[in-house]
Each structure stands twice: as C-alpha cells, then as structure tokens.
C-alpha cells in the first residue's frame, strides 16, 4: 500500500498535509505521534472512512496494489472489503449472536455461502484467539463477552471478510493490560497473513508490536498533521533521523 501526497480536510480545515508513506505487505506498520496530530485521520483515509464524516474531503492518492482507491470510479464499499478496520472501542453488533457477528460482513454484503459458514466462523475465531473461549456459546449475544473478548470478536469479524489489509485504531486503549497483551500477541500472529497498520498512543506498544514505524506531528504554523519520518521500528527508536522524532520517542514531549 502506498500513500502519495495525501491531504485530508474537515470542511475547509486542513487536517493532514502532504503525507507520503509506504506500507510494506505482510508487516505491521505503527503510526505514532502526539494527540491530535492526525494519526486516526490518516488511518481512516486508508479505507475511505474519512469521507463518511459530513464535509470531509481527501486529496491525493492511496494506492492499493497499484490501484488508486480514490480514483473517480472506485467504489468505496469494495475498497472497504479489501481494507478492514478495528476500532478503539469494541463495537460488536448488539442484536446479533457471536457467530452472526463473525459472519455479518459476509452475510450483509450478499455473499452467502451457508454451507461454509460454520467453518468460516471457526477459522475466524481461531485466528483471533477467541475460539476456545466461546466455542460452546456461539449463539450467545455478542454483548455477553468481556471488553477484551469483544475486541477480539471485532477482529474475527474483520478477518472473516478476508481483507488484504487490517487497520487498527488504538485497538487496546479501551482494554485492561491482560486483554491488551492477548491482542498484541494476536497482532504478531496475524502478521503472517495480513498487512497491518496500527495507530497507537503507546510508544512502547509500537516498539513491541511493529516492524516499521511512522511518526507524525502537528505543524505549529498551519495546525495540520504531517509525516515526519518513517522507517524500521528499531531505527526509529534508537537512531531516528529527525530531531523531532528523537524528541518524541525519548519522551521530551508527548
């Protein structure tokens, strides 16, 4: 995935300016930076969720396997099936059971293959490290699960659709430390089959979990977010090229 000269607006206010970033396939890329610098906005531009907000606009290109997802004839719905998203607060569908939640992405996009549903549910739940905990109660309402389990259910729901990229917007910030650990282990496993982009407030998490890291900051003059530096995680944290990156990762500001 390749982000090229991306600019994002909320109405007339520029939120992200001229962002360029390469996301390597099969790796976990973390986006870090201080609050309000546009990390979540950038993430939402990667699956065309930013434009869902009224009066929000995007300029520039985002290439997925060479195709621009913002091309004039590109269907946002199809883009979102290839680029899935997990949100900060777990948001399983409350009126559906656990298994219906997992298959909701498939059923609601009209691709019903009822014979395979049970197998799909099991695979998705196994791949999200949730199968053992819920295999006896697949028909229970999704809201009966704990926060960490609900978040893993949302991950299962996202991967059941078989996306190529999974975007995660601070997926652990609403979870307790044990649940956070489980989700981080899960991310490490998911890396084998998916490309993952994760926005996180927690620098240590980025250091633990990601292969590459991108650092964003707000430009003081026009109050827009910008990409400062990106590279392999080890380098960003030990030998960053930009002084601002160094200041951030060493905690001089945050």
Q: Does 2 bind other proteins (CB under 8 A)?
A: no
Shortest spacing between CB 174 and other proteins, in angstroms: 11
d(C-alpha 160, C-alpha 86), whole Å: 13
Binding-site string for other proteins from residue 12 to residue 31, where x marks contact by CB under 8 A and - marks none: --------------------
DSSP 11-36: TTEEEEEEEEEE--TTSEEEEE-STT
Q: Does 77 bind other proteins (CB under 8 A)?
A: yes
Q: Does 161 bind other proteins (CB under 8 A)?
A: yes
Q: Does 94 bind other proteins (CB under 8 A)?
A: yes
Q: Which of 17, 152, 157, 212 binds other proteins (CB under 8 A)?
A: 157
Q: Is the CB of 171 or the CB of 240 nearer to other proteins? A: 171
Q: Is the CB of 120 or the CB of 154 nearer to other proteins? A: 154
Q: Does 141 bind other proteins (CB under 8 A)?
A: yes
- 42 to 35, 50, 67, 129, 226: CA distances (angstroms): 13, 8, 18, 28, 10
d(C-alpha 62, C-alpha 6), whole Å: 7
Name residues contacting other proteins, limited to 57-76 (CB under 8 A): none
Q: Does 231 bind other proteins (CB under 8 A)?
A: no
Shortest spacing between CB 250 and other proteins, in angstroms: 35
Binding-site string for other proteins from residue 189 to residue 228, where x marks contact by CB under 8 A and - marks none: ----------------------------------------
Q: Which of 121, 154, 172, 217 binds other proteins (CB under 8 A)?
A: 154
Q: Which residues contact 108 (CB under 8 A, 6 or more apart)?
A: none
> 3-state class of 2 per DSSP?
strand
**Residue 192: other Cβ atoms inside 10 A:** 8
Burial tier of 244 (Cβ tally within 10 Å: 0-12, 13-18, 19+): middle
Q: Which of 35, 54, 114, 251 binds other proteins (CB under 8 A)?
A: 54
**Closest of 180, 239, 240 to residue 215, by C-alpha:** 240
Q: Which of 108, 118, 119, 188 binds other proteins (CB under 8 A)?
A: 108
**Are β-strands 212-218 and 28-32 bridged in parallel, bridged antiparallel, or unpaired?**
parallel
């939120």: which residue's tokens? 15
Q: Which residues bind other proteins (CB under 8 A)?
A: 47, 49, 52, 54, 77-82, 84-85, 87, 89, 91-95, 104-105, 108-109, 141, 143-144, 154, 157-158, 161
């Amino acid at each position: 995935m390749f982000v090229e000269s991306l600019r994002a607006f909320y109405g007339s206010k520029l939120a992200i300016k001229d962002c360029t970033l390469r996301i390597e396939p099969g790796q976990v890329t973390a986006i870090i930076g201080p609050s309000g610098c546009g990390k979540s906005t950038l993430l939402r531009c990667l699956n065309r969720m930013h434009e869902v907000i009224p009066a929000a606009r995007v300029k520039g290109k985002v290439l997925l396997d060479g195709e621009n997802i913002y091309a004039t004839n590109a269907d946002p719905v199809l883009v979102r099936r290839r680029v899935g998203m997990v949100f900060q607060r777990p948001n399983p569908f409350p009126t559906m059971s656990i298994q219906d939640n997992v298959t909701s992405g498939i059923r609601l996009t009209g691709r019903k293959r009822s014979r395979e549903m049970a197998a799909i549910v099991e695979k998705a739940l196994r791949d999200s490290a949730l199968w053992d905990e819920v295999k006896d109660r697949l028909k229970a309402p999704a809201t009966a699960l704990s926060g960490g389990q609900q978040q893993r259910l949302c991950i299962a729901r996202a991967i059941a659709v078989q996306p190529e990229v999974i975007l995660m917007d601070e997926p652990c910030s609403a979870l307790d430390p044990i649940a956070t650990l489980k989700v981080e282990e899960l991310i490490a496993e998911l890396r084998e089959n998916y490309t993952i982009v994760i926005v996180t407030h927690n620098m240590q998490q980025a250091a633990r979990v990601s292969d590459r890291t991108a650092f964003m900051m707000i430009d003081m003059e026009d109050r827009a977010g910008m990409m400062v530096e990106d590279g392999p995680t080890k380098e960003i944290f030990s030998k960053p090229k930009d002084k601002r990156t160094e200041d951030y990762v060493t905690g001089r500001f945050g």
